[in-house]
Amino acid sequence: MDDVATYPAGLILTGRRVLVVGGGHVAQRRVPQLIAVGADVHVVSPEVTPAIEGMVGSGEVSWHRRGFEEADVDGAWYVIAATDDRAVNERVSVAAEERRVFCVRSDDGTRATAWTPAVGRHAGVTVAVLGQREPQRSARVRDEILEGLREGTIVARHQRDRSPGVVLVGGGPGDPELMTIAGRKALVEADVVVADRLAPRELLGELPPDVELIDVAKLPRGRSAQQEEINRIIVARALEGKRVVRFKGGDNFVFGRGYEEVLACREAGVPVTVVPGLTSPVAVPAVAGIPVTHRGVAHEFTVVSGHLPPGHPESQVNWAALGSLSGTVVLMMAVENAPAIAAALVAGGRPPQTPVAVVCDGTMPGERTVLATLETLASRLAEEAVRPPAIIVVGEVVRVAHPAHFS
Ligand code: SAH
């Protein structure tokens, strides 16, 4: 058949009746999109999938539990014929044609008066791709466009949100694929990016050339002075009218001093928003194949900073209490103090044979896992010359993940 010239249009179906004939997997894929645009969806089918039944139960669609009747098309603005019975679909399209209602068909596009494009949305733009009945190719084209928009290789400049302010963006544990879509969008829209050492660095290479990049790792050392300087920079740039992204590894509020930056912005009257990130104490063990909870094994997990050793006057951690728990303990910033921490957990009551996994450079090309027990942790860290960043997982979940090693 010759190519069909379709005329694309964005239908506004809010509050308008849409008829879906059929309740199987095709209908199940179309109905949520119709619900999302506020259509008055009527499903006609003797049976529906459990997913559609759920949408009926929540009142999002109306279900007419019977076979199709021509009169079902009356009053509809749009019809989807999605049964697995060609004869029924044919009756639906004939009834729609007679009533001059556009009708798509799941089984035979040549007998339809409308085609469903491959659809995706990004930041207020709808991408709809129609091919010559090659759904996989259309979907691939759509995916390419969406990826370009998300990654910023397709930059629609006028779309950028240039309103001044600060966005705290969590970059996830390191692999750029593990950053959120909202975080990527914020990066693309930034005038200034203030980045830490652990933020996914590859993404910084993708920034448009006019974006100012401030590498906080290069600021003079001394933790509190450094943080004050960061606060000063983000506030000053925002007050100059810039859109500032404060870009960190993991989540900005998990040992990231993110809330100090929120407070500094508030004090200066600078608008501040937060895009959460996948935090490393959960994501790094997950990628390394270690669950932080497991039914019947660990009903809690505790995330603890090990940057101060047990007994340090400024420590706020009750190591003895942690030693008396039986769940998972996830230690961060703990490589240096790990020997003292392991000893404190054993002193608090943890068996010395408790399994331990040290995941170094999680989600990054050099990722590796070192296994130990609380008793052997100090020597294993030395043998393997473990350097930060590392996540140390303590507890029986490590045995679940590595049964052979701890048998
Ligand atoms: N805000 C971050 C944590 C910052 S504290 C988050 O939410 O993940 C820095 C510590 O995080 C490191 O010392 C290390 O313990 C841990 N960490 C962060 N990224 C890591 C990674 N990719 N692999 C292993 N540990 C990581």
Kindly list the catalytic residues. Answer: 196, 218
Q: What is the pLDDT of residues 162-192, one digit of tens each?
A: 789 999 999 999 999 999 989 988 998 899 9
Please report, for the chain, the start and end positions of each structural domain, with discontinuous segments joined by +.
Answer: 17-116, 121-155, 159-275, 282-401
Q: Note the pLDDT of residue 332.
A: 98
CA of 367 to the centre of ligand 1 (A): 13
Q: Across the strands, what pairs with 244?
A: 166, 192
CATH numeric code, 17-116? 3.40.50.720
Q: What is the pLDDT of residues 93-138, one digit of tens each?
A: 999 999 999 999 999 888 999 999 999 888 778 899 998 878 889 9
Given this chain, do its domains 17-116 and 282-401 carry the same CATH topology? no
pLDDT of residue 152: 73
CA–CA–CA angle 62, 63, 68 (5° rounding): 125
Q: Is the pLDDT of residue 223 over 80?
A: no
Pocket probe for ligand 1: among 305, 308, 332, the residue whose CB has the most ligand atoms within 8 Å is: 332
Strand partners, 272: 166
Spatial distance between the Cα atoms of 92 and 21, rounded to a whole number of angstroms? 8
31 with 44: CB under 8 angstroms? no
pLDDT at site 222: 62
Structure tokens at 298: 């660990």
- Best of 391, 392, 394 for a ligand 1 pocket test (most atoms within 8 Å of beta carbon): 391
Exposure string of 357-380, with b = 16+ CB inside 10 Å and e = fewer, is bbbbbbbeeebebbbbbbbebbeb
Q: So what's the pLDDT on residue 14? A: 96
**What does pLDDT average to over the chain?**
93
Closest ligand 1 atom to Cα of 281: 8
According to CATH, the superfamily of the domain at 282-401 is Tetrapyrrole methylase, C-terminal domain (3.30.950.10)
CA of 283 relative to ligand 1 center, distance in Å: 10
pLDDT category at 305 given cuts 50, 70, 90 is very high
Beta bridge partners of 394: 329, 356
Over the stretch 143-159, which tens digit does the pLDDT of each residue have?
999 988 877 788 765 55
Cα 249 to middle of ligand 1, angstroms? 7
Q: How many separate helices (H) and strands (E) can be counted in the chain?
A: 12, 17
Which residues form ligand 1's pocket by a CB distance below 6 Å?
Answer: 173-174, 198, 248-251, 254-256, 279-280, 284, 332-333, 359, 361-364, 388-391
The alpha carbon of 399 and the centre of ligand 1 are apart by a number of angstroms equal to 23
Beta carbons within 10 angstroms of residue 397's beta carbon:
23
Q: How far is the CA of 326 from the centre of ligand 1 (A)?
A: 24
- Tokens describing residue 393: 């997982």
Q: Per CATH, which fold does 159-275 belong to?
A: Cobalt-precorrin-4 Transmethylase; domain 1 (3.40.1010)
* Closest ligand 1 atom to 251 CA: 7
Atom of ligand 1 nearest to the CA of 256: 1
Ligand 1, atom nearest to 258 Cα: 1
Judge residue 10's burial from the number of C-beta atoms within 10 Å of its C-beta, 0-12 exposed, 13-18 middle, 19 or more buried. Answer: exposed
Check whether 321 has a pLDDT greater than 90: yes
Which percentage of the chain shows pLDDT scores above 70?
A: 96
Q: What is the pLDDT of residues 326-377, one digit of tens each?
A: 999 999 999 999 999 999 999 999 999 999 999 999 999 899 999 999 999 9
Q: Can you give the pLDDT at residue 17?
A: 98
Nearest CA to ligand 1 atom 13: 333
Task: Out of 10-19, 178-187, 276-285, 312-321, pick the least confident.
Answer: 178-187
